[in-house]
Chains A and B, each alone.
Chain A
Amino acid sequence: MPSPQTPPIAGSAIDPTAVRSPIEDAAIERIAPDHVRARLEALKSEGYAMLLDLGAVDYPERIPRFDVVYHLLKMPTAVSTIGDVGTPQRYRLLCGVPADNTTLPTVTDLWRNADWAEREVFDLFGIVFEGHPDLRRIQMPTHWEGYPLRKDYPLRGPAQERSPRPQFANKSNLVAGTPPTGRTAEALQQQVTLRKRATSTSEQSRLSQSECKPGQMLGPEDRSKP
């Protein structure tokens, strides 16, 4: 049953939780960014002691554009046996984040492992977690521009945004992402013409001795002959 907090989804792309009934044992809930912090605090006090994962998905044509996905696990926080743990309940909280306001409150004070997870979502999707103690890029270099896991980011990265390569690496003109200057092609062409000139005289004498003219194809009747 949709709760009053459940925000509407619009646009042509998919809402994975709506397209079909869940195929796993996790409890799934969709929530608006304003309520996510309060809901997570409530879940934590209900016994969801472990933040399994925090990731994001980009749906460029949808409103809201991003989904930040929290996977929680109900876990005892003391020494416990297999029987105590049993089949712990999983909880998945999807939070739609609009493209024009990509901010969410941090949960690093609730779960300590949210630190790197939030940094990674910031690094690869550009979603800012307010109140995070150390929100820097984690996977990409610190000076990187753009957010690589967004769908509008090209697979090979924008060429003009590449960092300049160190001098010793610029030995060839084949710097990744820059258009070829044509020097290599020119040099190759020159070599080809030089070699042609050098070999043309010997080539002609060899051809005149052979019975076969260049470019002549063997017909099927010729092939059967020994």
Chain B
Amino acid sequence: MVLSMGPQHPSTHGVLQIMLEIEGESVTKAEPEIGYLHTGIEKSAENLFWTQAQTVIERMDYLAPECNSLCYALAVEKLLGISDRIPDRAQQLRVIIAELTRIASHCVWLGTHGIDLGALSIFFYCFDLRENILDVQEAAGGARMHPNYVRIGGLQADLPDGHVERLDALVKKFPGRMRELRAILQKNPIWQDRTIDVGAVPPEQAVSWGLTGPALRASGVAYDVRKAFPYSGYDNYDFDVPTRTEGDAYARFVVRLDEMEQSMRIVEQARKSLKPGPVMIDDPKIAPPPKETIVLSMEALIHHFKVVSEGIRVPPGDVYQAIESPRGELGYYVVSDGNNKPYRVRTRPPSLYNLQALKGIAPGNLIADLVVMIGSLDPVFGEVDR
């Protein structure tokens, strides 16, 4: 029998349709159908200025928007040849933002994954923590979901007054909240029954399916872009890469929980190393000069006008830049033809490749376990379909 699951199904985490061939309760073949959320972001980006394209690109992975921004900014900075001129404070704040985003994204994953499996209360614990993080993000960038805080050349603005104290309060609250999350689920026999040995991926298959991020590390391959290809000064921080060897849904769950704690470790270290300083590169051809200066200096006015009305120009060339997003290796292959618009922005979406592995791991399992597998792979459809 062929059964269509989705695209309006609460446990497909968005608009995923899976064509299931079933025998009784067990799945013999699963073919995910995607594209219901295709918005042509890559095409739109080609028709916008380099700086404007960042706003649409940020909307790909809407649970970790600043990771998209950061990766795109790093790629364009490489093309511009300014990677080593980004101010230290901007680098540290980028790390803080990226790691907080990772925690917030894992909170959504755990909350919704819990609901799929019938653990309703975990959702409220997770979203409370996420709301605190979004508050911090909102205070810095001005918006909860898409702050567009990371810009090409640095950051949009420095932190507002009292922001560091807000961050400290979050850091202080976090360990207790994590203890609660672990206490509810990690030793919970029902949770373990539902997730252990479900959707196991051996390391060889995981690499062949192109899994990255927590899904790959749960299978035992300790590949983390932050360690393998450090960016934004990740090599200055001391953190572990949690791995498991089972490769099942429970292993992915534990890896993500451990990862949240490691992220907070990085945030604390970056917070300690914060020193006053500029947060944007001092180059009027890339970053418009501060608004106050345009009434004092003719050059500043001209540069401001040129950068805003005409956009920045990026030397021709191509570059592949990757970062560790909450879902895995997020990469941008950016091509410039020397104009004020990106010639091509190709995304390497971690969710797309992680979700594709469902075809390999679903057959032979129950339909109820399929829901567990989708949840544990953590796809975000803004990114899968773009």
A residues within 8 Å of B by Cβ? Answer: 13-14, 16-17, 19-20, 23-26, 49-53, 55-58, 69, 71, 75-82, 84-88, 90, 92, 111-113, 115-116, 137-141, 148-149, 153, 155
User: By the criterion CB–CB under 8 Å, are A113 and B81 in contact?
Assistant: no
Measured in the bound complex, the distance between the Cα atoms of B116 and A133 in whole Å is: 33
**Can you list, as one digit per residue, whether each of B325-357 has a CB less than 8 Å from chain A (1) or not (0)?**
000010101010110000110101000110011
**Can you list, as one digit per residue, whether each of B183-218 has a CB less than 8 Å from chain A (1) or not (0)?**
000000000000000000001110111100000000
Q: Place the interface of chain B in its size category.
A: 35 or more
Measured in the bound complex, the distance between the Cα atoms of B315 and A19 in whole Å is: 9
User: By the criterion CB–CB under 8 Å, are B207 and A77 in contact?
Assistant: yes
Lowest 6 CB-CB distances: which A-B pairs, in order?
Answer: A79-B220, A16-B318, A113-B210, A55-B346, A53-B348, A139-B38
* CB closest chain-A residue, reference B37: A139
Q: A50 — which chain B residues lie within 8 A by C-beta? A: 207-208, 210
Q: What is the interface of chain B mostly: helix, strand, loop, or mixed? A: mixed
A97: shortest Cβ distance to chain B, in Å? 15
25 contacts between A and B (CB under 8 A): A14-B338, A16-B316, A17-B318, A23-B78, A24-B78, A24-B321, A26-B320, A49-B207, A52-B322, A53-B333, A55-B333, A69-B333, A71-B331, A77-B203, A79-B203, A79-B245, A80-B221, A112-B208, A112-B360, A113-B209, A113-B353, A113-B357, A138-B35, A140-B35, A149-B43
6 additional A-B residue pairs with CB within 8 Å, beyond A14-B337, A88-B223 = A49-B207, A55-B348, A79-B203, A79-B221, A82-B224, A85-B221
Asked if B175 lies at the interface with its beta carbon under 8 angstroms from chain A, I say no
Measured in the bound complex, the distance between the Cα atoms of B318 and A23 in whole Å is: 9
User: By the criterion CB–CB under 8 Å, are A87 and B229 in contact?
Assistant: yes
B222 CB contact (under 8 Å) in A85, A138, A148, A149? A85
A53: shortest Cβ distance to chain B, in Å? 4
Total A-B residue contacts, Cβ distance less than 8 Å: 138
User: By the criterion CB–CB under 8 Å, are B331 and A53 in contact?
Assistant: yes
A149 CB contact (under 8 Å) in B42, B245, B318, B385? B42
Q: B385 — which chain A residues lie within 8 A by C-beta? A: 139
Which among A49, A58, A139 has the greatest number of chain B C-beta atoms within 10 A? A139
Asked if B34 lies at the interface with its beta carbon under 8 angstroms from chain A, I say yes
B204 CB contact (under 8 Å) in A69, A77, A116, A148? A77
Q: What is the interface of chain A mostly: helix, strand, loop, or mixed? A: loop
Known: A26-B320, A92-B320, A113-B356. A148 touches B331 (CB 8 A): no
Known: A85-B221, A155-B47. A78 touches B346 (CB 8 A): no
A80 CB contact (under 8 Å) in B44, B222, B319, B353? B222
A68: shortest Cβ distance to chain B, in Å? 11
Measured in the bound complex, the distance between the Cα atoms of B360 and A86 in whole Å is: 28
* CB closest chain-A residue, reference B331: A53
User: By the criterion CB–CB under 8 Å, are A57 and B335 in contact?
Assistant: yes
Measured in the bound complex, the distance between the Cα atoms of B210 and A127 in whole Å is: 22
Q: B346 — which chain A residues lie within 8 A by C-beta? A: 53, 55-57, 69
* CB closest chain-A residue, reference B204: A77
Q: A76 — which chain B residues lie within 8 A by C-beta? A: 203, 207, 221
User: By the criterion CB–CB under 8 Å, are B220 and A51 in contact?
Assistant: no
User: By the criterion CB–CB under 8 Å, are A115 and B35 in contact?
Assistant: no
Measured in the bound complex, the distance between the Cα atoms of B335 and A92 in whole Å is: 14
* CB closest chain-B residue, reference A13: B337
Asked if B40 lies at the interface with its beta carbon under 8 angstroms from chain A, I say yes
Q: B368 — which chain A residues lie within 8 A by C-beta? A: none
Measured in the bound complex, the distance between the Cα atoms of B17 and A141 in whole Å is: 14
